[in-house]
Chains A and B, each alone.
Chain A
Amino acid sequence: MSTNASILAGRVPGAGRGRVTPAAALRHGLIVARRNLLQVRGNPQLLMFLVVQPILFVLLFVYVFGGAISGSSRQYVQFVIPGIIVQTVVFATAITGIGLNEDLAKGIIDRFRSLPIARSAVLAGRILSDAVRLVATLGVILLVGMLLGFRITSNPLAALGGLLLVIAFGMALSWVAALIGLSVRDPETAQSAGFIWMFPLTFASSVFAPPETMPGWLQPVVEANPITLVADALRGLLLGGPALTPALQTLAWVVALTVVFAPLAIRRYRRLS
């Protein structure tokens, strides 16, 4: 290694072209996604948030509130598990924002941006890894739910469709979280900025209780709430009730959120200095 030539010799194939092929862009996104997922191993609080908290929520709502809300825990299980799936997915998207903000604060995004990789890699990798985490968390809740007596009473196709729909909704919300995460000063703010709207939005929905049981003034809010739509759609698809309308409405929300927030998040990323 004594001349410039030999320094260059050990380097990147395709150097000098300047544009990244779509195949390479995908590969970069996957590598970043893999790195995001590996981080969970070193981050026990993340694991807590993604696994333990949902389990606690399930236990809390089924056993503590179940009887009061629905008359019996058993009945409530069927109602609340799809709700908790939706709630967990919504909350889990906060991690997208926090993760990005941490990467930003710690200079890791600087390093990524100084590499000859696709500009989309960081965001794409983040959305992808969070989708994987959503699936894993979903699995945990279903498992725990089934242990508590929850049963999917529709058909496998509908059930799969429902779960995919929720994940798509989660990914759409991830773009919102990504925008917030890239815009605020520090991870703590990213966290509160996420939860400040997630909490009321989730509770003012059909996730935990049927809207009919809520006061009159709240019902229009709940009915307009997209989370209600997702929860209703998922219930229908997992349990066999009416699902088409809420499912289509959910899809509309997924598309709308993605179309609005994905470009905003990408633009915010591009504007980083």
Chain B
Amino acid sequence: MAVMIQAEGLAKSFGTTRALDGVDLEVEGGTVLGLLGPNGAGKTTTVRILATLLEPTTGSAQVGGHDVVRQPQQVRQLIGLTGQYAAVDESLSGTENLYMLGRLLGLDRPKARRRAAEMLERFDLADAAGRMVRTYSGGMRRRLDLAASLVGRPPVLFLDEPTTGLDPRSRNGLWAVIRELVAEGTTVLLTTQYMEEADQLADRIAVMDHGQVIAHGTSDALKAELGGQVLEVRPADPADLDRAAAVLAELTGGQASIDPDIRQISVPMPDPAWLLVAVRRLDQAGIVVVDLALRRPSLDEVFLALTGRPAEAPLVEHPQAAEETAA
């Protein structure tokens, strides 16, 4: 399959801040690459460069075979872009927003109208089509923003934190649409702070921190590298916390950490089959458990494993870069 997005040694400095420090990426056609990282990692900067909104200081990138710096108009023919801010016009209706974009993309009036109606239908916005976007809910706005990026039926889609701030239902709905688009052959580059989102949508994941890609691979490969999943246990009696932690640590041979605020123990669980053993051992120890869950490592845990510090550690940022990444 052809490589649709490619970046080599991308670097970007804003004044004295290096927002990007040598990023290499490759996305095959019809697949999803997830860029995972905290605020300030350089995800948005990367997307903006690939979407021709920003020029790199050094390095090069191609989308659909066209260089983003030397052939930006050709790149723009191929891409759709949605941002964190849901860039749609609030003072216009849904239809007017999409109609305008259709016209700008060269569709004649009837075609632009039809395309607008088609996209609104597909994104379940037909009922609200004539209303001003100001009256839309957050989820509807995101859907409209996504619809707007698709008016031109672009083969390449950049989704910059598409579900940040959405409720779970809207998020799942958006995920379903994205999956459909990928099934139809669209190439997607997705940035996110949520491991779960990268997990659900991305074929491959690149983890970014401080302007560099610090790990990449499939979701399973990354999790395996990080020691698999995490077991969370909440004993009925907070007095049992230490004992339960000891039991689990002994079983897994790993570090069991206790969060006293939520009275919960987390311990890495490389082999999910140990879940049953853990339950039995806790039972044998006479510890009653109210909550027990096996879950994927969070972004924090991924980061801790990769960099030795949590993702939420404050990073010193150039004001402009901070503006770009602040949600």
Chain A complexes with chain B: yes
Contact of B91 among A10, A32, A39, A121 (CB under 8 A): A39
A7: B residues at CB distance < 8 A: 153-155, 184-186
Stretch at the interface among B77-85, B204-212, B251-259, B266-274: B77-85
B96 touches A38 (CB 8 A): yes
Whether A184 is near chain B, meaning CB under 8 Å from some CB there, is no
Residue B243 at the chain A interface, CB threshold 8 Å: no
Q: Do B73 and A20 touch across chains, with their CB atoms under 8 A apart?
A: yes
Which listed residue (A10, A13, A14, A42) contacts B90, Cβ 8 A? Answer: A42
Determine whether the beta carbon of A4 is less than 8 Å from that of B106: no
Q: Check if A19 is an interface residue, CB within 8 A of chain B.
A: yes
Q: Are B185 and A107 in contact (CB under 8 A)?
A: no
Stretch at the interface among A82-90, A108-116, A156-164, A245-253: A108-116
Collect the chain A residues with CB atoms within 8 Å of residue B90's CB.
42, 106
Interface residues on A, range: 35 or more
Is there a chain A Cβ closer than 8 Å to B101's Cβ? Answer: yes
Cβ–Cβ contact A1 & B91, under 8 A:
no
Find the B residue at minimum CB distance from A121: B104
Which residues on A sit within 8 Å (CB–CB) of B92?
35, 38-39, 42
B289 part of interface (Cβ distance < 8 Å) = no
Q: Chain B interface residue count: which class?
A: 35 or more
CB within 8 Å of A: which B146-165 residues: 148, 152-155
- Measured between beta carbons, the chain B residues less than 8 angstroms from A18 are 71, 73-74
Q: Which residues of B contact A235 (CB under 8 A)?
A: none
**Of A8, A110, A116, which one neighbours B73 at CB under 8 angstroms?**
A116
Binding stretch for chain A, among B32-40, B51-59, B222-230, B299-307: B51-59
Q: With A11-B152, A35-B100 as given contacts, are A115 and B76 in contact (CB-CB < 8 Å)?
A: yes
Mask, A1-37, CB within 8 Å of B = 1, is 1111011101111111111100010001001101100
Give chain B nearest CB distance to A269 CB in angstroms.
Answer: 12
Q: A4-B29, A12-B152, A18-B73 known; 10 other A-B pairs, CB under 8 Å?
A: A1-B153, A3-B185, A7-B184, A11-B77, A31-B100, A34-B100, A40-B91, A110-B53, A111-B101, A114-B52
